[in-house]
Amino acid sequence: MTTTRRLPVLLAIAVAGSLAACGSSATPAPTTAPPPTGSPASSTSTTAAGSTATTAGGPRNLPATVANKSALTAAYVAHTKVPPGDIAGTQAGSVYYAFVPSTRTYWALATFTPSATASQRTLVGMQDGGAMGIFSRPAGGSWTMVATGSFPFCPSATPLPAEVRAVWGVSDPTGCTAQG
């Protein structure tokens, strides 16, 4: 296996490892599947059928549709200025998606997969958290990438609102310092 072919695999392992470290006692469940038994409790929970329950007016965890994932991919490509053909789409199981009614804002976190023909420049740019994007979208508006991930991934050091991080069950791994 050449170095070029190993980079996407190594990148996926590194990003998955940094996300796994974010949960306090369990890895948070992406919005594309029900959470595993023992997920951290929050004001929103996903049922076995995949529907969400929330306290009145609180943020809601939502299932990410194919259209959402495509729009996030387009926003990632526009923000990072990588050739569209270099990105295959979102990494399976990596998309987190929520709505905050009080601000009428949608939030998403996604990790992207390079295409099989991605340039070396794109592959290098996607290392160390560069394959992860944090996005926001006002109700009725378009997705905007507001930040890239980092390695290690420290959720409190991102623009993600605390209430969204709580809905997703993500917290900082040991050693992260919250940025105000």
Residue-wise pLDDT for 36-87, tens only, equals 222 222 233 333 333 343 445 789 999 999 999 999 999 999 999 999 999 9
Neighbours of 83 (CB within 10 A): 13
Q: 141: number of CA atoms within 13 Å, CB side?
A: 14
Contact criterion met (CB below 8 Å) for 149 and 133: yes
Give the residue carrying structure tokens 């990003």. 15
pLDDT in tens, 99-146: 999 999 999 999 999 999 999 999 999 998 899 999 999 999 999 999
Give pLDDT, residue 6: 37
**pTM for this model (two decimals):** 0.68
**Per-position DSSP letters for 22-89, written without gaps between them:** TSSSSPPPPTTSPPPTTPPP-SEEE-TTS-EEE-TTS-EE-PPPHHHHHHHHHHHHHHHT--GGGEEE
Residue 171 pLDDT grade (very low, low, confident, very high; cuts 50, 70, 90): confident
pLDDT for the residue numbered 148: 86
Closest CA to 110 of 41, 50, 30: 30
Alpha helix (H) residue ranges in 86-129: 120-125
